[in-house]
Amino acid sequence: MIGEKQAEQDVNSLKGFDLVAKIKQKLEAECPGMVSCTDFLAIAAKDAVVLVGGPYWDVPVGRLDSKKTSLDLANRDITTAQQGLVTLISKFWEKGLDATDMVALCWIPHNQICPLKDICPLDGDDDNISAMNSHTSSTFDNAYFQMLINGEGLLYSDQATRRPTPSTSTGLTLTRSSSSSPTPC
């Protein structure tokens, strides 16, 4: 089946699809047609955030995403690390989300580029793995936003959020909040 995994944004970007397929197969055996990959990935992401001290939230489940995969929709809708701020905001807006939502949802604590040059050299293979934030990799905090303000975002799309726009003020608010845990929503 050709779907999201083959989208240009996903190819060589994510690991663990084999594990996702195994989990999905077991879920299908127990609850045919009821639980999507998106459902259990959303639940796993929420549980990971909670485990590192982040907030808890309810995850609506029940095939709310789609009952089929589409390579064309994935290529159209999934953001890339190379996209600029206008494109990123536009894609989120099309889904009913604003710039504040975009900044909060793109919160992934990234590491600085310099240490990654040693871990992932240009002449290396794709099997190198690194924590995205070596400073506070097991803590839910606002370090990502602090790194953005310092110009240390790893991806082009990260640094795009530093330009003077409403999303920048959202990032500044999250960075300077008295709490170290971002809670924009």
Enumerate the known binding-site residues for Ca(2+). Answer: 4, 136, 141
Identity of residue 164: P
- The per-residue b/e assignment along 65-86, b for 16 or more CB within 10 angstroms, e otherwise, is eeeebebeebeeeebbeebebe
Identity of residue 73: L
33 Ramachandran zone, left/alpha/beta (phi>0; psi -120 to 50) = left
Positions at the binding site: 4, 136, 141
CA distances from 5 to 33, 66, 80, 114 (A): 20, 15, 14, 29
User: Within 10 A of 102 (CB to CB), how many other CB atoms are there?
Assistant: 24
